[in-house]
């Protein structure tokens, strides 16, 4: 089995891995860069108006034959989850290549396309994967395992061919709402003694960061909502269903009304039968739906009709701000509140800290200060903490550990004796 990490050996995001056995080629993830060469957030506008060869030449798109450069197309693309740093280049791949992914990944990509300018997973390309169920793809057998991450439907992949076994971790964590997922993965894969573990290491080099479970964050949110003097604004990604549930429970615990936007409402609707969350189309659901200006401009009549029974308008929220906690994004400051938030508003920020230097967040923080409100980071990572990572690798006990999705690949050698550090584009035999 031949392995090539086309991108990801020395950066977080932009993951793209190739496996080959005989004439069969698999691609795992086709990610957009998360940061630029200065480790600043990647500007997606860099894609606009440019042809594929130019994007390849600039290093935004990796050189993968048959995928982004001339050559025979690979046999399949596997997507670990729907974050853009893992799927953001899918629209540039040949439409004839089937895409293997969980139903959850397809749903989150659909929601992202509808509300956030991202891309769908075309139905005609999608091959559905079920956790623990092997899938034959040419010379390979791929067994997906659902994992806990800050994105619904995430998976790791066990790939077998030529008597060799490789485990691709994807992005995962053990401090979320479903730690049993990784325990099941370890129970199944650990005894196999895989030949190679391609392991994400986002938190290598981040010693000292606060280690907080999703449950601990939920109770922190509960306290922050309880002490808020006015309207609570929750800023987070709706496809992080765990975080959506944390905000919902924390809000209900304070006897406030949880107000979701149409994006979050749609995500809840998509996953309601799978994890038992409230369905915003149900008039008895403990949520209300605010049709923000950006959503109304889209004119999605079907969704407007679906969520109409639970619709809430701005005037109702503003008449009793202390009784509500609502999903919020910086664009709503001008579009929905005319640049004037209620006095004492509190914004709870649940994103990566790297976004805070952007002008829209800077303006929001300034305005909150002007209305005697405050801006409070309230977050925990979607990626596995270092101690958990070390325990996970030891439990899998692979013959070799290969770093990916990290700025600190050398740090692996401080914890594991069997590290094989690669360079982008370097093929090896497993």
Confidence of residue 210 (pLDDT cuts 50, 70, 90): low
Mean pLDDT on 345-372: 94
- For residue 47, the 8-state DSSP code is G
Residue 104 has a pLDDT of 97
Mean pLDDT on 221-247: 97
Whether pLDDT at 209 is above 60? no
Whether pLDDT at 396 is above 80? yes
Domains of the chain: 2-206+382-429 (3.60.15.10), 214-377 (3.40.50.10710)
| pLDDT, tens digit (0-9, with 9 covering 90-100), for 60-70 | 999 999 999 99
Burial status of residue 297 (CB atoms within 10 A of its CB: 0-12, 13-18, 19 or more):
exposed
Give the SS3 label for residue 336.
Answer: coil
Integer Cα distance of 127 and 116 in angstroms = 24
CA trace torsion 4, 382, 291, 376 (10° rounding)? -140
| pLDDT, tens digit (0-9, with 9 covering 90-100), for 17-52 | 999 999 999 999 999 998 776 777 788 888 888 999
Integer Cα distance of 251 and 233 in angstroms = 11
87 in Cβ contact with 29 (< 8 Å): yes
Closest CA to 349 of 245, 234, 239, 256: 234
0.75 surpassed by pTM: yes
CB atoms under 10 Å from CB of 160, counted, come to 20
When the pLDDT of each residue in the chain is averaged and rounded to a whole number, the result is 95
Residue 153 has a pLDDT of 97
Mean pLDDT on 315-331: 97
Residues ≥6 apart with Cβ < 8 Å to 78: 26, 27, 28, 29, 99, 100, 101, 142, 157
Residues ≥6 apart with Cβ < 8 Å to 418: 398, 399, 400, 401
Handedness of CA 297, 271, 354, 423 (dihedral sign): negative
268 in Cβ contact with 107 (< 8 Å): no
| pLDDT, tens digit (0-9, with 9 covering 90-100), for 93-103 | 999 999 999 99
């Amino acid at each position: 089995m031949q392995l090539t990490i086309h991108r990801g050996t020395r950066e977080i995001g932009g993951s793209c891995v190739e496996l080959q056995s005989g004439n069969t080629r698999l691609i795992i993830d086709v990610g957009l860069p998360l940061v630029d060469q200065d480790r600043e957030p990647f500007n997606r506008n860099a894609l606009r108006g440019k042809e594929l060869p130019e994007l390849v030449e600039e290093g935004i798109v990796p050189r993968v034959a048959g995928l982004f450069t001339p050559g025979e197309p690979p046999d399949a693309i596997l997507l670990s989850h729907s974050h853009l740093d893992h799927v953001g280049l899918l629209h540039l791949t040949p439409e004839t290549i089937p895409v293997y992914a969980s139903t959850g990944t397809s749903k989150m990509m659909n929601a992202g396309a509808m509300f956030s300018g991202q891309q769908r997973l075309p139905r005609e390309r999608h091959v559905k994967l079920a956790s623990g169920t092997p899938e034959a793809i040419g010379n390979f057998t791929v067994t997906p395992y659902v994992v806990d991450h800050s994105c619904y439907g995430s998976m790791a992949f066990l790939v077998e061919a030529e008597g060799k076994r490789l485990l691709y971790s994807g992005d995962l964590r053990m401090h979320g709402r479903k730690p049993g997922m990784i325990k099941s993965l370890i129970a199944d894969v650990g005894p196999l003694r895989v030949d190679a573990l391609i392991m994400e290491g986002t938190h290598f080099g981040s010693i000292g960061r606060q280690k907080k479970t999703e449950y601990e964050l939920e109770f922190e949110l509960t306290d922050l909502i309880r002490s808020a003097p006015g309207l609570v604004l929750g800023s987070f990604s709706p496809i992080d269903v765990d975080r959506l549930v944390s905000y919902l429970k924390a809000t209900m615990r304070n006897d406030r009304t949880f107000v979701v936007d149409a994006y979050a409402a749609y995500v809840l609707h998509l996953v309601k039968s799978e994890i038992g969350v409230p369905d915003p189309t149900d008039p008895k659901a403990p949520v209300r739906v605010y049709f923000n200006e950006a959503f109304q401009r889209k004119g999605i009549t079907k969704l407007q009709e679906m969520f109409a029974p639970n619709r809430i308008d701005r005037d109702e929220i503003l008449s009793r701000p202390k009784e509500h906690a609502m999903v919020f994004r910086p664009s709503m400051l001008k579009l929905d509140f005319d640049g004037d938030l209620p006095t004492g508003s509190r914004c709870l920020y649940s994103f990566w800290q790297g976004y805070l230097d952007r002008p829209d967040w800077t303006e929001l923080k300034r305005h909150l200060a002007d209305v005697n409100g405050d801006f409070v980071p309230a977050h925990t990572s979607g990626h596995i903490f270092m101690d958990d990572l070390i325990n996970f690798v030891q439990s899998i006990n692979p013959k070799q550990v290969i770093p990916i999705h990290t700025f600190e690949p050398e740090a692996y050698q401080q914890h594991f004796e069997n590290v094989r550090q690669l360079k982008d584009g370097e093929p090896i035999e497993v």
